[in-house]
Each structure stands twice: as structure tokens, then as C-alpha cells.
Copies of this chain bind each other. A is one copy, B any other.
Amino acid sequence: MKNTKREKKFSNKTIERLALYYEILITLPFKKKYISSEEIGNLAGVSPSTVRQDFLYFNEIEGKAKIGYEVTKLKEALRNIFKLNSKTHVVIVGAGSLGQAIAGYDSFKKSKVVFDSFFDNNPNKIGRLFKGIFVRDIKYLKDYLKENRRIKIVVICVPPKEAQSIVNLVVDSGIKIIWNFSPTILKVPSDILVEYEHIGVSFYRLLFKRKTIKKEIK
């Protein structure tokens, strides 16, 4: 059994790995009832020790010696940790292919993320449906966010040159959380949470690793 007092600060890396463990668990075959820290580690590419250390921070995660962790319980615990069981309302600015890709992303279908609306400035897109989501005129974005307080997160999928002015507007309307896919650094007040998704960075990392691989082969 776990100690009850346990409020150490966990690192960003722990959070990232927990999300990864969750993605692994949801792709597991149904018949699998228990999983050990060793198995999780193998699938996630980390040591069993690291898996157990990550779990140590959370009282809701509990395994059984000799047996491992009950898969359904572990999944549920992770869903709670990430609050995936409560609805999250989101708006996407930019109804291009990137915005559509996010709205249609597979993992979200298993969560309670609700995409309320697209916003775009392209007259050919305004009024249409993409992935079943209505596209509104971007000039109504500020009013919409002010009137629909359930919306907590805004996703930025516009070209980098337009990103900052839209973010200013979004911040003005009271939104505190921004998920930014536009490859540019945003200036925001310190109480705003911005999570960057740098697709380019991930590709550069790939190119770099390629170089080192080639050296190893020679």
C-alpha cells in the first residue's frame, strides 16, 4: 500500500510520460487484464524504475506486487489525472488543413474534448462544415468567446504572421489557455498558459538523428 502523504513536485517529463502511458494503454488488446511496470516501460521506451517513480506521485495509481497494475483501473486513474472525463470546450482559429487535422485527430475521439467552432477569414470557408464543425467569421471571434464562457481553450492554426494579432484578441476576451501550432513565438501576459506544438522542431530533430545514424553505419 502507498503512503498517504505524497505531494512532491513532479517534473514536466513525468507528465509527458504519463500521457504516453495512457496512449499505450488505450491501444492494448482487450483481453489484457494486468500489466507490469516492466511491460509499460518496454512499450514506452523507459525503464521499469522510471514507470514506478512516475506512478509514485499519484495516490490513485496502485499496483499489486507479483501481479502488476490492473489495466482498466490504471486507465481510469490516468483519465482522472488529466481530467479527460469532464468536458473541455475548445475553439479552433484557422480552418485550414492543420485546424481540420486537429479537429479530426483520433485520440480526441476517446476523450471529452468538444470542438465548438472553427473561425476563419476566408469567405469560401465561412458557413461551411469541416469534420462536422461550423466555420464562423473571424470578426465575431471576440464576441463569441465573451458570450460562450464554457470555452476554455483556443487553438491557433493560422499562418505565423497572423498569429500574434489573433492571440491579442483572444487574451482580451478572457481566455487563459492557448494551444499554438503556428511556428512563431507569442507574446502573452504572464498569467496566460501557452502550449507550443512545434511540428518543425520535431522534424529537425529527425534530420539531426539521421546524420548521427549515417555516421554510425560508416
Give the B-binding residues of A (Cβ under 8 A). Answer: 12, 15-16, 18-20, 22-24, 27, 43-44, 81-84, 88, 96-98, 100-102, 104-108, 113, 131, 152-153, 159-160, 176-177, 179, 182-185, 193, 195, 197-211, 213
Contacts and interface: CB of A to CB of B under 8 A. Distances in A.
Nearest to A17: B201
A195 B201 contact: no
A19 B208 CA distance: 10
A40 to B, nearest CB: 11
A205 B104 contact: no
Given A101-B101, A106-B182, A197-B202, 15 more contacts: A23-B183, A23-B185, A23-B201, A83-B211, A84-B204, A88-B207, A97-B100, A98-B101, A105-B200, A107-B183, A153-B210, A179-B206, A193-B209, A195-B202, A195-B206
A213 B197 contact: no
A24, A177, A202, most chain B CB atoms within 10 A: A202
Majority-rule SS of A interface residues:
helix
B83 A200 contact: no
**Closest 7 pairs between A and B when the two form their complex, measured CB to CB:** A107-B200, A97-B100, A19-B204, A98-B101, A97-B101, A19-B201, A195-B206
Nearest to A178: B206
Given A23-B200, A153-B206, A185 B43 contact: yes
Contacts of A102: 199
B193 A23 contact: no
B207 A106 contact: no
Nearest to A9: B212
Given A98-B101, A159-B106, A195 B185 contact: no
